[in-house]
A and B are shown apart, each in its own frame.
Chain A
Amino acid sequence: MWKYFAKRLGMMAVALFFIILLTFIIMHSIPGGPFTSDRKVSAEVEAALNAKYNLDAPLYEQFFDYLGGVLRGDFGPSYEYTGKSVNDFIANGFPVSAKLGVITMVFVLLASIPMGILAAVKNGKWQDMAVMAVATIGVTIPSFVIASVLIYIFSFRLNWLPTYGVDTWKGYILPVIALGGYSVSYLARLMRSSLLEVMGQDYIRTARAKGLSETKVILRHAMRNALIPVITVLGPTVANLLTGSFVVEKIFAIPGLGVHFVNSVSQRDYTTIMGVTIFYATFLLAMIFIVDVFYCLIDPRIKYE
Chain B
Amino acid sequence: MEPILQVENLKTSFFTSNGEVQAVRGVSFSVEKGDILGIVGESGSGKSVTSMSILKLLADTGKIKEGTILFEGQDLTKMGKAQMRKIRGEKIAMIFQDPMSSLNPLIPVGKQVAEMIKEHHPEKKKDELKREVLDLFSRVRIPEPEKRYNSYPHEFSGGMRQRVMIAMALGNKPDLLIADEPTTALDVTIQDQILKQLRGLQKEFGTSIIFITHDLGVVAELCTRVIVMYGGLVMEEARIDDIFEDPKHPYTLGLLASIPKLEQDKGQRLSPIPGSPPDMTNPPVGCPFAPRCPYARNICAAECPEFKEVGEGHRSRCWLLDPEAPSDHNPFR
A-to-B contact residues, CB < 8 Å:
123, 200-203, 205-213, 216, 220-221, 224-225, 298-301
A84 CB to closest chain B CB (Å) equals 51
Asked if B89 is an interface residue, CB under 8 A from chain A, the answer is yes
Besides the known contacts A205-B102, A210-B116, A216-B119, 6 further A-B residue pairs in the complex with CB atoms under 8 A apart: A203-B105, A207-B104, A210-B88, A211-B116, A213-B85, A225-B106
Q: B104 contacts which of A123, A213, A225 (Cβ < 8 Å)?
A: A225
A interface footprint on B105-126 (CB within 8 Å = 1, 0 otherwise): 1110000000110011000000
Per the CB 8 Å criterion, the residue count for chain B at the interface is: 29
Q: Given A202-B98, A202-B101 in contact, is the A210-B89 Cβ separation under 8 Å?
A: yes
Q: Report how far A220 CA is from B102 CA in the complex, Å.
A: 15
Residue of A nearest to B178 (CB): A209
**Is B170 interfacial (CB 8 A cutoff)?**
no
Q: Is B71 an interface residue (CB 8 A)?
A: no
- Please provide the 10 A-B residue pairs with the shortest distance between their CB atoms, ordered closest to farther: A211-B89, A211-B88, A202-B101, A210-B89, A203-B104, A300-B152, A211-B85, A210-B116, A202-B102, A206-B102
A200, A202, A211, A220 interface centre (most CB from chain B within 10 Å): A211
List CB contacts (< 8 Å) of B153-184 with chain A: 154, 165, 168
**B196 in the interface, Cβ–Cβ < 8 Å?**
no
A211 x B86 contact (CB < 8 A): yes
Residue of B nearest to A200 (CB): B59
- Is chain A's interface secondary structure helix, strand, loop, or mixed overall? helix
Residues on B lying within 8 angstroms of A by beta carbon are 55, 57, 59-60, 85-90, 93-94, 96, 98, 101-107, 115-116, 119-120, 152, 154, 165, 168
Give A5 Cβ to nearest chain B Cβ, in Å: 20
How far does the alpha carbon of A300 sit from the alpha carbon of B96 in the complex, in Å? 23
Q: Which residue of A lies closest to B111 (CB)?
A: A220
**14 A-B pairs in the complex with CB atoms less than 8 angstroms apart:** A123-B60, A202-B101, A203-B105, A205-B102, A206-B104, A209-B55, A209-B93, A209-B94, A210-B89, A210-B119, A211-B120, A212-B119, A225-B106, A301-B105
Residues of B within 8 Å of A221, CB to CB, are: 104, 107
Chain A proximity of B176: nearest CB distance (Å): 13
Q: Which chain B positions have C-beta within 8 A of A205?
A: 57, 96, 102
* Minimal Cβ-Cβ distance residue in A for B112: A206
